A and B are shown apart, each in its own frame.
Chain A
Amino acid sequence: EIVLTQSPGTLSLSPGERATLSCRASQSVSSSYLAWYQQKPGQAPRLLIYGASSRATGIPDRFSGSGSGTDFTLTISRLEPEDFAVYYCQQYGSSVRTFGQGTKVEIK
Chain B
Amino acid sequence: EVQLVESGGGLVKPGGSLRLSCAASGFTFSSYSMNWVRQAPGKGLEWVSSISSSSSYIYYADSVKGRFTISRDNAKNSLYLQMNSLRAEDTAVYYCARDGGWSPFDYWGQGTLVTVSS
- For B62, list chain A residues within 8 Å (CB): 1
- Cα A90 to Cα B50 in complex, Å, equals 14
- With A50-B104, A93-B102, A95-B50 already in contact, the answer to whether A44 and B111 are too (CB < 8 A) is yes
Set A39, A56, A98, A101: member contacting B47, Cβ < 8 A: A98
Set A1, A46, A47, A99: member contacting B46, Cβ < 8 A: A99
* Residue of B99, B105, B108 ringed by the most chain A CB atoms within 10 A: B105
Nearest Cβ distance between residue B79 and chain A, in whole angstroms? 15
- With A44-B110, A44-B111 already in contact, the answer to whether A96 and B104 are too (CB < 8 A) is no
Interface range for B: 20 to 34
Q: Is B28 interfacial (CB-CB < 8 Å)?
A: no
- Interface contact A45-B102, CB-CB below 8 Å: no
Interface residues of A in 51-91 (CB under 8 A from B): 56, 86, 88, 90
Q: Is A97 interfacial (CB-CB < 8 Å)?
A: yes
Q: Is A23 interfacial (CB-CB < 8 Å)?
A: no
Set B44, B59, B108: member contacting A44, Cβ < 8 A: B108
- Interface contact A88-B106, CB-CB below 8 Å: no
- Interface contact B50-A45, CB-CB below 8 Å: no
- For A101, list chain B residues within 8 Å (CB): 44
- Cα A46 to Cα B95 in complex, Å, equals 12
- Cα A60 to Cα B110 in complex, Å, equals 23
Set A88, A92, A93: member contacting B44, Cβ < 8 A: A88
Nearest Cβ distance between residue A17 and chain B, in whole angstroms? 24
Q: Is B11 interfacial (CB-CB < 8 Å)?
A: no
Q: Is B118 interfacial (CB-CB < 8 Å)?
A: no
Q: Is B21 interfacial (CB-CB < 8 Å)?
A: no
Q: Which residues of A contact B (CB under 8 A)?
A: 1, 33, 35, 37, 39, 43-47, 50, 56, 86, 88, 90, 92-93, 95-102
